[in-house]
A = this chain, B = another copy of it.
Amino acid sequence: MSTDAVPSTAVVSHDPRTGEPRAEIAVEAGPAEVDRAVRAAAATLDALADRTRRAALLRAAADRLEAAAEEVVATADAETALGPVRLRGELARTTYQLREFAAVVEHGAFLDLALDRADPALGRPDLRRMKLPLGVVAVFSASNFPLAFSVPGGDTASALAAGCPVVVKGHPDHPATGELCARLLREAAERVGLPADVVALVHGLDAGVELVRHPLTAAVGFTGSVRGGRALADVAAARPRPVPFHGELGSLNPVVVTERAAATRAEEIGAGLAGSFTLGTGQFCVKPGLVLVPAADSGPVEKAVVAAAAQAAPGPLLDPRMRRAFLDGVRQRADLPGVEELLAADAEPVDGAPLAVRAGVLAVGAAQLAEELLEECFGPVTVLVRYRTAEELETVLGRLTGNLTATVQLAADEDGPEAAALLRRLEPLAGRLVVNAWPTGVAVAPAMHHGGPYPATTSTSTSVGATAIERWLRPITYQNAPQALLPEELRDGNPLGLPRREN
Contact present for B477 and A449 (CB under 8 Å): yes
A481 touches which one: B134, B433, B473, B481 (CB < 8 A)?
B433
A132 CB within 8 Å of chain B: yes
Considering only residues 396-455 of chain A, those with a C-beta below 8 Å from chain B are: 401-402, 415-416, 419-420, 423, 427-428, 430-437, 441, 443, 445-449, 451, 453-455
Q: Which residues of B contact A479 (CB under 8 A)?
A: 432-435, 437
Contact present for A475 and B484 (CB under 8 Å): no
Chain B, Cβ-Cβ closest to A417 = B484
A71 CB within 8 Å of chain B: no
A2 CB within 8 Å of chain B: no
A448 touches which one: B437, B441, B473, B477 (CB < 8 A)?
B477
A390 CB within 8 Å of chain B: no
Contact present for A127 and B443 (CB under 8 Å): yes
Contact present for A462 and B449 (CB under 8 Å): no
Contact present for A420 and B116 (CB under 8 Å): no
Q: Whole-angstrom distance from the CB of A34 to the nearest CB of chain B?
A: 21
Bound-complex Cα distance A482 to B460 (A): 26
A237 CB within 8 Å of chain B: yes
Chain B, Cβ-Cβ closest to A49 = B424
With A124-B443, A401-B241, A437-B125 as contacts: A415 and B484 at CB distance below 8 Å: yes
B-contact bits for A232-251, CB 8 A (1 contact / 0 none): 01100110011010000000
A18 CB within 8 Å of chain B: no
Contact present for B460 and A473 (CB under 8 Å): yes
With A114-B446, A125-B443, A128-B447 as contacts: A433 and B476 at CB distance below 8 Å: yes
Most buried by B among A122, A434, A436, A479: A479
Interface size on A, residues (CB 8 A): 69
With A234-B237, A436-B480, A459-B244 as contacts: A447 and B127 at CB distance below 8 Å: yes
Chain B, Cβ-Cβ closest to A430 = B476
Bound-complex Cα distance A132 to B433 (A): 13
Most buried by B among A123, A124, A234, A445: A445
Bound-complex Cα distance A426 to B168 (A): 28
Q: Which residues of B contact A264 (CB under 8 A)?
A: none
A242 touches which one: B449, B454, B481 (CB < 8 A)?
B454
Bound-complex Cα distance A475 to B461 (A): 7
A115 CB within 8 Å of chain B: yes
Contact present for B431 and A127 (CB under 8 Å): no
Q: Which residues of B contact A445 (CB under 8 A)?
A: 116, 124, 127, 503
With A124-B445, A242-B458 as contacts: A431 and B477 at CB distance below 8 Å: yes
Considering only residues 323-360 of chain A, those with a C-beta below 8 Å from chain B are: none
Contact present for B435 and A474 (CB under 8 Å): no
Bound-complex Cα distance A77 to B30 (A): 59
A129 CB within 8 Å of chain B: yes
Contact present for A433 and B477 (CB under 8 Å): yes
Contact present for B477 and A127 (CB under 8 Å): no
Contact present for B446 and A503 (CB under 8 Å): yes
Q: Which residues of B contact A485 (CB under 8 A)?
A: 415, 419-420, 423, 435
With A114-B446, A125-B443, A454-B242 as contacts: A433 and B478 at CB distance below 8 Å: yes
Bound-complex Cα distance A217 to B26 (A): 45
Q: Which residues of B contact A460 (CB under 8 A)?
A: 134, 244, 473-475
Bound-complex Cα distance A78 to B497 (A): 53
A501 CB within 8 Å of chain B: yes
Q: Whole-angstrom distance from the CB of A460 to the nearest CB of chain B?
A: 4
What are 11 inter-chain pairs, A to B, with CB distance below 8 A? A127-B445, A127-B447, A237-B238, A242-B454, A416-B484, A431-B477, A435-B480, A435-B481, A437-B480, A445-B503, A446-B501
| With A116-B443, A423-B481 already in contact, 19 other A-B pairs whose C-beta atoms are closer than 8 Å | A134-B460, A234-B237, A237-B238, A241-B402, A241-B453, A241-B455, A242-B458, A415-B485, A423-B478, A430-B476, A431-B474, A433-B477, A433-B478, A433-B481, A434-B480, A435-B479, A435-B482, A447-B503, A462-B475
User: Top 10 nearest A-B pairs by Cβ distance?
Assistant: A237-B237, A460-B474, A127-B447, A415-B484, A449-B477, A114-B447, A116-B447, A449-B475, A129-B447, A116-B445
